[in-house]
Amino acid sequence: MTGADADGVRGGNIQASLCIAPGVAPALELSAEKGEATNHGTQLKALNEQLAAANISYRLNIPRLQAGAVRLGGAANRCKRDVADALSRHGESLTSDCAKLLATFQAQRSRQEALEDENQGLQSEVDDLERRARAEVAEVQRLKKELERKSELYEEIKAAFDEERENLEKAQQESRKANSKLQEATGRLTETEEELQRRLREEKKRAGDAEGDLKRQLEAAQSRVQRAEEKWAASESQLRGVEVTLRDALWVHEERVRERETERQEAEAAIARERDWKEEEMRARKEAEEKVKAAEERAQVEISRAAKAVQVAKERQLEIDAQAAEVAALREKTSSLEEDVASLRQKMNEESAKAASDKRTGVAIERCSAAKLRTQVTQLEGKIKEQRNVHKARCAQAPEWPRYHENRLGSFTTSCCLAQTNA
């Protein structure tokens, strides 16, 4: 129903007109299309009947529709009045609420600004306190690190002194071992001197002199070691004093943490004192190290001298033993050669006796025996010369023995020559 129809209903101008219900036009179009194809007339009749029934139902429903339209108009007017009243009341309440909210917002804003100002002041105070606390913590950490560093330095110094003490003890043990070895060597030398009284007098004197020198050197080394030990004790006492001073510095550090400004001044004074102590400790340590090194070098030199003397004594003893063995071998060889000469003399006597008894073959026998004896004598002389050369080469250090053997060998050669001449 349009606006004009509603006005007509309100005014009473109701006109019955042919109305087509919605959805019927498409059906008509379809029926027309289908009527063109098949049974167009029957379909038109059915559609006319449907349209007539629809018009009758529409005409019957018109009064009810008009009454409903009147009711809807009154309800719409009432709704308009109610909506206008509600809107006016709601607007008034909204304005009052907005005014209240604005007042509360302004009060809260002013309060928030005051709180922000107070918060900024408190934050600045907190920042100052944090900076002070950080500065104090940094100062405490610095002092703690410095104390740890000084304690580490003290431990290192103590460990170095312990090592030096161990090195001194090792040097003393080595000197004792060298002394025992020297005593053993002197015992062996005394034994060899008893066995070789006449030949080793000079060696005994030299060994005695060397032993006296070694004893004096050992006594000097022991005195030096004692002096080094005394200096070590003095350095230990100094270290104890340094430890006491470090403990005092720790106590002063704790007092400085409690008292801020005065502690810094005391800390600077303590640091200066500790620097002086450190320099003194370093100087004492360097002096002790230099003295210990010098003592070690002297002890090593003395030990090397003692070892060289012992080695020389051992070598001389071995050379003397070898010479004694060679002398014994030469004696055996000379005795064997004398026996050979005696046997040759007997043969020569036998040959001469046979030649005297046998006059017919005497000349031939004498010639043959003389030739044999000459060859044997030349062989013996060659052997004796070889023995003499070997003996001279090996016994060049002992001047007394070659004379004795030269005399023996000279007498032996003369006897051989006499035997040859007799033959």
What is the C-alpha to C-alpha distance for residues 124 and 364, in angstroms, rounded to an integer?
Answer: 149
Q: How many CA atoms lie within 13 A of 94 on its CB side?
A: 6
In this predicted structure, which of 261-265, 296-300, 401-405 has the lowest mean pLDDT?
Answer: 401-405
Per-residue DSSP letters for 58-70? HHHHHHHHHHHHH
Per-residue DSSP letters for 266-322? HHHHHHHHHHHHHHHHHHHHHHHHHHHHHHHHHHHHHHHHHHHHHHHHHHHHHHHHH
Is 343 domain-assigned? no
323 in Cβ contact with 391 (< 8 Å):
no
**pTM for this entry:** 0.22
Domain count, the chain: 3
Domain of residue 272 covers 158-332
The predicted-structure confidence for 218-230, as pLDDT tens digits, reads as follows 777 677 767 766 7
Among residues 66, 100, 134, the one where a domain terminates is: 100
What is the C-alpha to C-alpha distance for residues 133 and 131, in angstroms, rounded to an integer?
Answer: 5
The predicted-structure confidence for 8-60, as pLDDT tens digits, reads as follows 444 444 333 444 444 445 555 555 555 565 667 777 888 888 888 877 887 78
Res 413: pLDDT: 47
Is 212 domain-assigned? yes
Tell me: do 91 and 223 sit in the same domain: no
Is 213 domain-assigned? yes
At 86, is the secondary structure helix, strand, or coil?
helix
263 in Cβ contact with 256 (< 8 Å):
yes
Tell me: do 191 and 324 sit in the same domain: yes
Res 381: pLDDT: 65
Tokens of 296: 């070690």
DSSP state, residue 12: T
Is 225 domain-assigned? yes
Assign 126 a pLDDT band (cuts: 50, 70, 90).
Answer: confident
Could you tell me which residue, 377 or 290, shows the higher pLDDT?
Answer: 290
Among residues 297, 316, 332, the one where a domain terminates is: 332
129 in Cβ contact with 239 (< 8 Å):
no
How many residues appear in the chain? Answer: 423
Residue 3 has pLDDT above 50, yes or no: no
What is the C-alpha to C-alpha distance for residues 320 and 315, in angstroms, rounded to an integer?
Answer: 9
In this predicted structure, which of 16-20, 80-84, 270-274, 329-333 has the lowest mean pLDDT?
Answer: 16-20
What is the C-alpha to C-alpha distance for residues 181 and 99, in angstroms, rounded to an integer?
Answer: 118
Q: Which spans in 358-399 are helix H?
A: 362-394
Whole-number percent of the chain with pLDDT over 70? 52
Tokens of 380: 């013996």
